[in-house]
Chain A
Amino acid sequence: MTVAVDVREVSKVFGTGTSAVRAVNHISLTVNEGEFVGLAGPSGSGKTTLLAMLAALLKPTEGEIWIEGHDLGRMSEGQRTRFRKDNIGFTFQANNLVPFLNVQENVELMLRLTNQYNKGNRSRAIEILQRLGLGDRLTAMPSQLSGGQQQRVAIARALIHRPSVVLADEPTAALDTERAFQVVETFADLIHEEGRAGIMVTHDLRMMRFVDRVIHMQDGEIDRILTERDDIDALAYADAMVLVGTSATPKVETVAA
């Protein structure tokens, strides 16, 4: 297995002096090519800050991040932008798509950005979109798509230029359960097939059934790593039960009354 992402003793501190906040505290982890990792934890646990550092959007205060043999900490702002463009695929919670480009053009934008806009890659873009069930929506505008369809377009855009690492920030936050499962499952399949290193930040533990490894964060540190399939499925199942239980509680109270 080739290591795609290597995080070494990374910390991120915002502010200085008494107002300093240590959002990420001495974290080390690796992600291999073809591996899909879930980054979980409550709000404020530091998972989005860690994702921002992995995406070369933030510089660590301490430690090193290596992606495909490149030390992100040694790069200038311009180098990091270029590195991001060529090596990182991104999906976000919202505002994923350029509103004035249609589905196909949104995906091809990454090809234009990375100078890979050619006939072969354009065909590949259509193939990926067909694979994601959007073959008949190629000319649709983002405003004509559902939230799930928009996320699938974003997934296609994140993968089209063959980046080393694909990062997803709360990709299911705006989706209903059924669509959320569909989106993450497709995402996981494509990451495995294409041999990319995938990292997904989510607070929805039910989505962890599709990842290979769960890294759970608490107060800026890693407090648990689940690698066994049974443990991961148990975590996802437990989270699903919590949600079902919460929604069922009022019914019980009504009957008792």
Chain B
Amino acid sequence: MPLGLSTYLAFKEIWRNRLRFFLVSIFIALIAILVLFTAALAEGLGSGNRQFIEKLDADLVVYQDRANLQIPSSRMDQSTIRSLRRVDGVRAVGPLAFSNAFIIQNGKRPLQVAIIGIVSGQVGEPPILQGRKIQRNNADEAIIDANVARQGGLKVGDTMTLRSVQGTDEKFYDLKIVGLTDGRSYGLAPSVILPSETWDKVRPKGASETGAAEVEYNVAAVQLDNPARQADMAKALASQVANITAVDRVTAYSNTPGYEAQQSTLNTQQFFAFLIGALVIGGFFQIQLMQRIAQIGMLKAIGTGNGAIGVSFLMQIIMITALGVLIGGSGVLLVAQFLPPVVPIVFAPKTLLTAVGALMIIGPLGGLVAVRSALKVEPLTALRLA
């Protein structure tokens, strides 16, 4: 019966003071919006930075030793890639090259994209969702990721124009889109995957770089015979091939420029939003408790147990937190429908559930002080003896 009584008291109080409780729920909803948007933004920015490397079909990413795990600073020539292939335990190696360019479309703002050079049939070539693979390394063909398709309104079969600066001149290259892959952003830009020689032709370069004999890649993606031996193989590669560092994919994308700083900034924002949420809920219920000390004393004096009073308080906190999170969550999902596709928010179910779970925990946590105070109210208060 205590649970029934607690539920009854909790519901009745909320219903009879619904405007007051609704306003608190609105506060919680605003905090939920802030938390969920921050979480979605962190996920969006994070995946915008890491998607390509995170989804690589490789166990290790190999950098030039002195590049400090920075892809733009790393250079990987063909002989190094051949050396990597010869190491025992390496199943396959694919070179990868990264740069930027713009997709030019009539009547639209240029869309900045990451252009990623791969060798057809080797590690690093993305899965094709629609269309076909690239067939030759010098073909004027491209695979676009889902982000380019969404933001640029492009599809398989279209011809797109890429613009890059070479020397001091702007160059334009028409490439046929032959395949579509899933979202594979890199460096917060949607990606266009090109065959390596086409990539080398299209990429921005200085006047002195033009006419180089062979494509200079940035990193190598390595598949292992036994993926479980990642750490050992990273050491083996570093000892057997000169001037390289091998790391797993998580280490690789964590070291992309600005990734850690960005994620820690957003995580800090989220932490403070949670803290504010806990303080708002805690503050509201503490003030509410102070106004109700005489009433709680009376309830205890007539025989209401601490359990019923504490559970009633907790139920109210959970109910208005849940309502606030529901309103805030619905608001976020509604607003997200109207945001332009360039806003980097991603509602990953796991991230959202974690944020919602955390919000549902901070409510009761914030209210615990008030619950504790309620339990300490003396029934003698009713007789003005406490």
Binding site for B on A (CB under 8 A): 48-49, 51-52, 55, 57-58, 78, 81-82, 84-86, 88, 90, 92-96, 98-101, 105, 109-110, 112-115, 141, 157, 169
In angstroms, how far is the closest chain B Cβ from the Cβ of A174?
Answer: 13
Q: Is the CB–CB distance between A57 and B301 below 8 Å?
A: yes
Q: Is the CB–CB distance between B380 and A58 below 8 Å?
A: yes
Q: Which of B171-179, B291-299, B333-341 contacts A (4 or more CB under 8 A)?
A: B291-299
How many A-B Cβ pairs are below 8 Å? Answer: 76
Q: List 21 A-B contacts (CB under 8 A).
A: A48-B384, A49-B385, A52-B383, A57-B379, A57-B385, A58-B380, A58-B385, A81-B303, A82-B305, A85-B302, A85-B304, A88-B303, A94-B294, A95-B298, A98-B299, A100-B12, A100-B17, A101-B16, A112-B8, A113-B303, A113-B304
In angstroms, how far is the closest chain A Cβ from the Cβ of B176?
Answer: 71
State whether the Cβ of B107 lies closer than 8 Å to any Cβ in chain A: no
Q: Is the CB–CB distance between A105 and B294 below 8 Å?
A: no
A85 to B5, CA, bound (A): 13
Q: Is the CB–CB distance between A105 and B301 below 8 Å?
A: no
Q: Is the CB–CB distance between A101 and B301 below 8 Å?
A: no
A95 to B299, CA, bound (A): 10
What range describes how many residues of B lie at the interface? 20 to 34
In angstroms, how far is the closest chain B Cβ from the Cβ of A18?
Answer: 22
Q: Is the CB–CB distance between B383 and A48 below 8 Å?
A: yes
In angstroms, how far is the closest chain A Cβ from the Cβ of B319?
Answer: 14
Known: A84-B301, A84-B302. A113 touches B383 (CB 8 A): no
A31 to B382, CA, bound (A): 23
A94 to B8, CA, bound (A): 23
State whether the Cβ of B261 lies closer than 8 Å to any Cβ in chain A: no
Q: Is the CB–CB distance between A95 and B4 below 8 Å?
A: no
Write out, one digit per residue, whether chain B residues 1-24 have a CB within 8 A of any chain A CB (1) or not (0): 100110011001100110000000
By a CB distance below 8 angstroms, the chain A residues around B9 are: 98
Known: A84-B301, A112-B1, A112-B5. A93 touches B295 (CB 8 A): no
By a CB distance below 8 angstroms, the chain B residues around A101 are: 12, 16
